[in-house]
Amino acid sequence: MKTDIILSGVGGQGILSIAAVIGEAALENGLYMKQAEVHGMSQRGGDVQSNLRISDRPIASDLIPKGKADLIISLEPMEALRYLPYLKTNGWLVTNASPFINIPDYPPLEDIMGEIEKLSNKIIVDVDKIAKEVGSIRVANMVLLGATTPFLGISYDKIENGIRQIFERKGEAIIELNLKALEAGKNAANQIYN
């Protein structure tokens, strides 16, 4: 088992929390994991990207070569496009449909979505809308994580346990909100995927 994941988005969207939850779940599953340095974090609103490699065997490098990612998880559609060259031919893109327009020359959303629609393996979810329905826009990242669960190669209960571990210090109400967001994302993806 080997899953190479590129996480992308904009600073402040919660990419690190997604990586931390997946990492906890992988370790609980007895898997090896390597994560490359995340870029752009210091600037809220800047490009954030991380390589996350999970395997049942030791991993030599923490960087994913172009054309080798099994999965791109993106909280922002333009950032999803930026990393498409890393996706395998049969890899999956799971992305937020809602843009984070942080630059004056942001391309037209219909152009971005038109490129994403060309992919055969994609899940496009309006995670911002679902997060608001769940109770807080701050859990949009966990909605997106829920939408990726069919492609991670890690059991859903381990992902739930990862959320409990990562958010433990924030209290039971925050854990439950994040678990609810995870489930809402999983349900949204299942409506598209199945």
Q: What's the pLDDT score for residue 43?
A: 55
Q: For the chain, give the DSSP string.
A: -EEEEEEEEETTS-HHHHHHHHHHHHHHTT-EEEEPPPBSTTSTTSEEEEEEEEESS--S-SPPPTT-EEEEEESSHHHHHHTGGGEEEEEEEEEESS----STTPPPHHHHHHHHHT-SSEEEE-HHHHHHHHT-GGGHHHHHHHHHGGGSSS-HHHHHHHHHHHHGGG-HHHHHHHHHHHHHHHHHHHHHH-
- Is the pTM higher than 0.85? The answer reads yes
Q: What is the mean pLDDT of residues 151-174?
A: 94
Task: Give residue-wise pLDDT tens across range 90-135.
Answer: 999 999 999 988 788 999 999 999 999 999 999 999 999 999 999 9
Of the pLDDT bands very low, low, confident and very high (cuts 50, 70, 90), residue 22 is very high
